[in-house]
Chains A and B, each alone.
Chain A
Amino acid sequence: MRAGRVVTTAVVLAALAVAAFLPNHLNGNYVHILTLFFTMAILAQAWNFIGGFAGYVSFGNVTFFGTGAYACAYAMNEFHWPFFVALAFAILVGGALALVVGAPILRLRGHYFAIATLGLGIGTQALVAQVPAFGQGSGMTLPLNSDFHFFYWTMLAILAAGIIVTYLVANSRFGFALAAIRENEEAAAALGINTAVAKVAAWGVSGALTGAAGATFAYWTSFIDPSTVFDLNFNVQMIIMTIIGGAGTVAGPTIGAAILYTISEYLGSQSISPWHAVALGAIIVFVVIVLPRGIMPYLTGRRMWNARAIGDQLRASRI
């Protein structure tokens, strides 16, 4: 292990330890804000598998969030399963759905993949809104649990698990295979990587993790409806958070989530006017142009934080 990695690992572990004890010392409002932050960070970590490592820009990951939420709600209401069993069920459903739809869809690339995944999310939302067992458009109510610390810890645990899995993947043959696919898929195939299996597996992991977040979110809010849990904005946010932090890095998505979430919470607390969203749009534009690789490479010292480096990178991508 290099020194930088030891420091990073220590920082992450310390942050998790502090986070685990925080709710006892905070008022309920902050616990709520942090729980939502963990939710977004999990979604970003999950998106990172397919979008960051494999380089496939999915606009359909919110499908697994909604599916996870509905799987949990259905299992708790109809089968009367305890939450953690329902959570496991939602993870399975999210992962399985990603594998099933991934097999055909991941054959597509570029625009076609993005458009197909966009269609997947909107189509699933429209479909769920028609199924009587899922309450159609009016949604489902879950058993009430007002112990908000429980959700805080559950989300934190899922996030920690997500980061650990990402770390393991990033340093495995599987992770290297995904990076090879991202850089050049033909070359990766020529090296003997089974690209179809690797891509679908990456989306499966992504779907399972997203499903876990969806299930916990459903139990937390105790009410879900199609337009909330299939909201395309979740998908856009997970992408932007991952990019801000650094796509294809281990902790980047969580750091990106922290940055974007802090900014948008602060702006949102100042005024509820569209200025909030205007600023968000401006941040996205700024980040994509100036920091396309996110801030992780700068934090770990792989890239120098100076005007010349940024200028070089700008020159390389503009026309």
Chain B
Amino acid sequence: MLGAYVTYWLFVGPLHLDPFLSIPLAMGVVFVIAYVLQRYVVNLVIRAPILATFLLTFGLAILITNLALLFWSSDIRSVTTAYSGGNFEVAGLVVPWVKLITLGLAALLTLGLSLFMAKSKIGRAIRATSMDIDAARLSGVNVARIYALTFAIGGALAAAAGSLASVSYAITPTMGDSFLVRSFVVSVLGGLGNVTGALVGGIVYGIIESFGALVFGEGYKDVVALVVLLLVILFRPYGLIGRATV
């Protein structure tokens, strides 16, 4: 939601920045906000039971959403570019440009993130912290910073998604809600802690949702998607392409 707003303000503001060019800026702004929130607020309860983190982030979401409602009102905004409705045809398939670029960027970000997690020092520290926080700390990892960085990276990616969504969806302070549950489902489909899995999960989820709507009717698409979620969570909790380690 914040990412979409950054894109919106840059688009309507004096800069009149193209939504795709504003993605890095949106990511940067949200990266900083998320880092500060995690470092100075969420880290306060990180060693308490998981419920505390859940509730705290939920409280923060309510807080931020409603501050946005206060300052930016609930007016629906949109980013309409010259190429918003543009598309091309391949073998009878109508492909909107915007969606194609979105897919390409998603793949690019996934590739970048998985390289970062696998190769960089910070990526290794993040994986170490998730495996064993005490061992990571003993090896000299500043876990408080790692938690903050991890949340900030997640926030920046969500902001990129928000910027991309701003081109095809209406921008409102509550726009994030409908994406939240889907992002849970997609992560579980791909396997938690699996970067490429998330991309696969996203594609599989999209296909299931669309075909569910086609076969059972539009109203059933959420039901179908959530039944699939429950089945995956029960029988393949490590994700569709993951290995059985849990």
Give chain A's interface residues, CB within 8 Å of chain B: 51, 55, 57, 104-105, 107-108, 110-112, 114-116, 118-120, 122-123, 126-127, 129-130, 136-137, 236, 239-240, 243, 247, 273-275, 277-278, 280-285, 288-289, 292, 314, 316-319
Contact = CB atoms under 8 A, between A and B. Distances in A.
Q: Is the interface of A mostly helix, strand, loop or mixed?
A: helix
Given A115-B184, A285-B60, A292 B52 contact: yes
Given A126-B220, A274-B70, A104 B234 contact: yes
Interface residues of B, number: 46
- Describe B's contact surface by its main secondary structure: helix
Contacts of A236: 58
Interface string B61-73: 1111111011000
Contacts of A120: 226, 230
B181 A122 contact: yes
A118 B62 CA distance: 17
Contacts of B51: 51, 57, 239, 243, 247
B229 interface: yes
A120 B233 CA distance: 12
The 3 A-B pairs with the shortest beta carbon distances in the complex, nearest first, are A284-B59, A281-B63, A123-B226
29 contacts: A105-B230, A105-B234, A112-B233, A119-B229, A119-B233, A120-B226, A120-B230, A122-B181, A123-B230, A126-B226, A274-B69, A275-B70, A278-B66, A278-B67, A282-B59, A282-B63, A284-B62, A285-B56, A285-B60, A289-B44, A289-B56, A292-B48, A317-B45, A317-B46, A318-B43, A318-B44, A318-B45, A319-B46, A319-B47
Contacts of B185: 115, 119
A110 B246 CA distance: 12
Contacts of A277: 62, 65-66, 69
Contacts of B222: 122-123, 126
Given A289-B41, A318-B46, 16 more contacts: A55-B49, A111-B50, A111-B192, A114-B54, A116-B229, A119-B181, A137-B219, A243-B55, A275-B66, A281-B59, A281-B61, A284-B59, A292-B48, A317-B52, A319-B47, A319-B147
B188 interface: yes
B63 A288 contact: no
